[in-house]
Chains A and B, each alone.
Chain A
Amino acid sequence: MATIEEPARIPQRMAIAGGLLALFAVLGAGLVAVTEDATRERIQSNEREYLLRSLNDVLPADHYDNVLFEDTIEVIDAELLGSDQSITVYRGRLGAAPVAAILTPVAPDGYSGPIKLLVGVDYDGTLTGVRVVAHRETPGLGDAIEAERSDWIRRFDGLSLGNPPQSAWMVRRDGGDFDQFTGATVTPRAVVKAVRNTLLYFAQYRDELFEDRRALVESESGDNERDRPSGSVEE
């Protein structure tokens, strides 16, 4: 292959090489574009189906009759919802009456990073279910918060701010009502705290959450809400 070339032919060969590279770039990009186009709809519907299934894990489908992911509101509350990014709240209604909401708060103080949750709350403030969506907790120790690995997360079903009393919304080691795991206290502590804070948030802002708008933003001063011009959900 490495034969000595005539100098005069070098530019020509470089041009051919460049052309070939460009050709393969076009072919490669074309392949990706065609595949993307062929799979986009399926992937989207998969994601929707998956989302709906997770939503129905925390809020049984017979509780509401609207399309959950078309009735959402974006909220921000760094203190109670654990993130300074906006958090999606799915609103469940029966007819026109609000019946429940699913919040997507973050437990910021997990053992190895934030833990993303789905929290379903009845209109009266009773938990309909809690699930962990994403986490990086230690396999075998902290991952017992996953519904597939243990029943611990189902312990929240039916609880509310008064049941158990607010002072008992802690893991046992801290004097509360919730079991920690052998070898892992930080993870359940973070989840219990996040769920309690979510209930506090819901109790405080329930009526605003069900108002007919797409976003709810707390201003710096505290009790002063304003609409954001751009709702981040459109369909």
Chain B
Amino acid sequence: MREIALQGLWKNNPGLVQLLGLCPLLAVTTSVINGLGLGLATTLVLAASNLCVSLIRNVVRAEIRIPVFVMIIASLVTAVELAMNAWFHDLLIVTNCAIIGRAEAFASRNRPLPALFDGLMMGAGFTLVLLVLGGMRELLGHGTLLAGADMMFGAGTDITLHLLADDGGFLLALLPPGAFLGLGLLVAAKNVIDRRLERRIQTTPAAISSAAQPG
């Protein structure tokens, strides 16, 4: 379980490592709330599709598994989109390859409970990237965070934070190139952190033995 969580949230993060679902990831992250909406919807679909795929993994033969996965995912996405439109405000949901990727790579080979958990964690990892990227772009572009919450959760939940002077902002952040640059920076940051962690683990014994030496 711990390993599954770690895979989804960090080591094998769909947004930063697998680089799956790039199209919605880049298109939707102009604000935190947009990112949150897509993240929640994707998590829901991922968890449900992983569960279904895992339940049927012994019934469906290998040669027809892909069309079956596609049908399951397509109907789930449509159902989730309808439900979201009914109970939240209009929301853009884009089916993305992260979902079929998990169905094929994990859910079709594992028992239902781990598969469900994997869906939730992969979704959470994806949502995290959407939130951070959306936050970066919204802050730079509009100078706000969490703008538009009332559009999604209904009136009375306007929790917009105005953090920077509203002087038009840094336009590039909102345009498509800003999405690529932002994602690139996030991937780079993750790699730097990973390398630091790795080096610390490697150098810990050495550091003790060389502590006496200056420099």
Q: Is the CB of B79 within 8 A of A31?
A: yes
Q: Check if B215 is an interface residue, CB within 8 A of chain A.
A: no
Q: Check if A61 is an interface residue, CB within 8 A of chain B.
A: no
Q: Check if B62 is an interface residue, CB within 8 A of chain A.
A: yes
Q: Known contacts being A28-B74, A139-B175, is A35 close to B82, with CB within 8 Å?
A: yes
Count how many chain B residues have C-beta atoms less than 8 Å from C-beta atoms of the other chain.
Answer: 29
B140 shortest CB reach to chain A, Å: 10
Q: Check if B205 is an interface residue, CB within 8 A of chain A.
A: no
Of B62, B75, B86, B168, which one neighbours A29 at CB under 8 angstroms?
Answer: B75
Q: Known contacts being A35-B83, A140-B168, is A25 close to B174, with CB within 8 Å?
A: no
Q: Is the CB of A24 within 8 A of B72?
A: yes
Q: Known contacts being A20-B59, A42-B86, A140-B168, is A32 close to B75, with CB within 8 Å?
A: yes
Q: Is the CB of B169 within 8 A of A32?
A: no
Complex CA distance for A39 and B61, rounded to whole angstroms: 34
Complex CA distance for A31 and B45, rounded to whole angstroms: 13
B39-74 Cβ-contact flags toward A at 8 Å (1 or 0): 000000000000000000001111110011001101
Within 8 A of A (CB), among B138-178: 141-142, 168-169, 171, 174-175
A contacts, CB < 8 Å to B: 1-2, 13, 16-17, 20-21, 24-25, 27-29, 31-32, 35-36, 38-39, 42-43, 46, 138-141, 182
B contacts, CB < 8 Å to A: 30, 59-64, 67-68, 71-72, 74-76, 78-79, 82-83, 85-87, 89, 141-142, 168-169, 171, 174-175
Q: Top 5 nearest A-B pairs by Cβ distance?
A: A28-B75, A39-B86, A42-B86, A35-B79, A140-B171
